[in-house]
Amino acid sequence: MLIHKIESDIHLHPTALCESECVGRGTRVWAFAHVMADAEVGRDCNICGHVFIESGAQVGSRVTIKNNVSIWNGVTLEDDVFVGPGVIFTNDKYPRSPRSAAAIGRYEHVENWLAMTIVRKGATLGAGAIVLPGITVGRYAMIAAGAVITHDVPDFAMMVGNPAQMRGWACMCGRPMGDARACCHCRRKYVDVDGHLEVDQADRA
């Protein structure tokens, strides 16, 4: 637990294990959670109970990871991401037990099997969602509880079901957008810029 050497303002529950030296100030790690060495976690994160963060995982700042989630090597969570309870990440497209005779060769080199996942800034992964290997989830996307994500997800897209399908758009504030690409709740408006949804610059001004 070398974390205190670099950042003095971390809340570590007495039963939490934090072996990484790269955890930012203001981050809290709760009961029975385990952050391995060489995992990177930014500032002001909330790492909840029974979470596991593997060596090689990268977590930005102000990220919330609710209970019972594992963040593997190969997974990157950008700033402000919300990971609901029981969300499941993956990092291998053709998993077999690595010590079995049928598969042992494939696991000799990490590049043979490791598929990368990126969750972009501000996205929400709802409770119990599953993200297949090699996927990018766009900025502020809203993944519904129980969705199984099998393809890349556009910025601000709302995804529902198993397999997940797009059901509309979500605002930065979390509410669904109407057909006019505007939020009835917070009044933000959005425009299409080169095929990507963005907050309307006029609206920002």
Residues that bind a second copy in the complex, under the rule CB under 8 A: 15, 17, 31-32, 34, 44, 46, 49-50, 52, 62-64, 66-68, 70, 79-82, 84-86, 88-90, 94-103, 106, 122, 124, 126-128, 130, 132, 140, 145-146, 148, 161-163, 172-175
Rounded Cα distance, 127 and 144, in Å: 7
CB of 88 to a second copy, least distance (A): 4
Q: Contact at 8 Å (CB) between 74 and 92? A: no
Closer residue to a second copy in complex, CB, 41/132? 132
First vs last C-alpha separation in the chain: 46
CB of 172 to a second copy, least distance (A): 4
Closer residue to a second copy in complex, CB, 22/88? 88
Element (H, E) at 75: strand 75-77
Closer residue to a second copy in complex, CB, 20/90? 90
CB of 48 to a second copy, least distance (A): 8
Rounded Cα distance, 79 and 174, in Å: 16
Rounded Cα distance, 160 and 183, in Å: 19
CB of 46 to a second copy, least distance (A): 8
Closer residue to a second copy in complex, CB, 98/178? 98
Rounded Cα distance, 195 and 12, in Å: 43
Closer residue to a second copy in complex, CB, 154/175? 175
Tokens of 46: 């909330």
CB of 97 to a second copy, least distance (A): 4
CB of 145 to a second copy, least distance (A): 5
Rounded Cα distance, 44 and 204, in Å: 26
Tokens of 192: 């299409």
Which residues on adjacent β-strands are paired with residue 95?
Answer: none
Closer residue to a second copy in complex, CB, 101/180? 101
